[in-house]
Structure 1
Amino acid sequence: MRNLVVALALSVAMPTGAALADTGTQQTSDNPKVQVVLDMVDAWNTQDWDRVVSMFAEDGSLHSMMVDPIVGHEALAARIGHIGAGIEEITLNVRNIGQVGDVVFIERVDEFVYNGHAGAVPVVGVIEINDDGSIQEWREYYDRAELLEAMGIHTDFDAEAR
């Protein structure tokens, strides 16, 4: 499944005007839905947690596919605030991004320092953006065990919340 998702993300053509974070080129897009996702990448890279939450629809969701989705601004703010409190540095390095139908796909490598633990994790995001330009659903595909190990966490923070 992971290889299928990565292969799909790799097959997505880069839209005209978009740019990759690790190429050092301009980070803009003529595609409004792709631009929303690039703006979200910028919000994470600048650790602007309020902006991250505000980019979701009021009933929007963030769904790391191996755990239950986080739905709504209040729940998103609590989750992102909890994780953000431990992030000392973070860079979402975009490798590929594009739109298929109404969905934006983004392949990236997230590099971070979390509570003194440096790590990097490959991620594929599948994002649905509504007509007003807000994120309705953001599905994340990555190796959960690899992420937790890179963060230096022994008990999954989402399991603790349940």
Structure 2
Amino acid sequence: MTDTALSAAAPVSDARKIDIATQMIAAWKAMDWDAAAALFTEDGVLHSMMVDPIEGRDAIHKRISGLGELATEIVLDVSNMGVINGIVYMERVDRFVYNGKTGAVPVTGVFEFEGDRIKVWREYYDRNQLLGEMGVATDFDHETR
């Protein structure tokens, strides 16, 4: 079924939205970037709020798979998840091994949906803490600007 057909379908239930968010968590743990990107609409947006958004499924795939190249483990450890006004809110700690360095960062993620796909995923966390936990000296989102 195409994205257009899915988007035109009846509204997605809150339970289905939680299921889709859970699939995203599983895709990150498996480091299956194809599966993670496929959960977005074609024109989906991944927005870490302290940097410019990544727009479009292909660009999102390129970004997350690129970051995943140096990761050997990623776990999104969710402590709370629920739906308010049709939007999924997820409180979690992201635990990872990146370029041989073990790290963890508290994060709040927010998913907006269009049909059976994620239209916008916003991430709220301390950017400096993330970079420190990753062992990254220069912010990779600003290297090409």
TM-score normalised according to structure 1 size: 0.79
Question: Which of 64, 69, 76 does residue 60 from structure 2 map onto?
Answer: 76
Question: Which of 126, 136, 141 does residue 158 from structure 1 map onto?
Answer: 141
Q: Which residue of 2 aligns with 1:63?
A: 47
Question: Which of 34, 41, 46 does residue 50 from structure 1 map onto?
Answer: 34
Runs of 4+ with deviation above 6 angstroms: none
Please say if 1:142 is aligned against 2:121: no
Q: Deviation per CA, 1:21-66, whole angstroms, max 9, x where unpaired?
A: xxxxxxxxx7011111011000001110111111110000000000
Q: Which residue of 1 aligns with 2:10?
A: none
- State the one-letter code of the partner of 1:47: M
- State the one-letter code of the partner of 1:57: T
What is the CA-CA distance between 1:150 and the residue it aligns to?
0.4
- State the one-letter code of the partner of 2:125: Y
Q: Which residue of 2 aligns with 1:128?
A: 112
State how far apart, in whole Å, the 1-side matches of 2:113 and 2:70 are: 28
Query: Which stretches in structure 1 are left out of the alignment for 5+ residues?
Result: 1-29
Please report the RMSD computed on the Cα atoms of aligned residues, expressed in angstroms: 1.0
Query: Which stretches in structure 2 are left out of the alignment for 5+ residues?
Result: 1-13
What is the CA-CA distance between 1:95 and the residue it aligns to?
0.3
Q: Which residue of 2 aligns with 1:105?
A: 89
State how far apart, in whole Å, the 2-side matches of 1:58 and 1:161 are: 24
State how far apart, in whole Å, the 2-side matches of 1:111 and 1:49 are: 17
TM-score normalised according to structure 2 size: 0.88
Moved more, 142-151 or 70-79: 70-79
Larger proportion of strand? 2
Q: Which residue of 1 aligns with 2:4?
A: none
- State the one-letter code of the partner of 1:117: K
Number of residue equivalences: 132
- State the one-letter code of the partner of 1:56: F
- State the one-letter code of the partner of 2:46: L
State how far apart, in whole Å, the 2-side matches of 1:160 and 1:54 are: 27
What is the CA-CA distance between 1:75 and the residue it aligns to?
1.0
What is the CA-CA distance between 1:136 and the residue it aligns to?
0.1
Q: Give the % identical residues.
A: 52
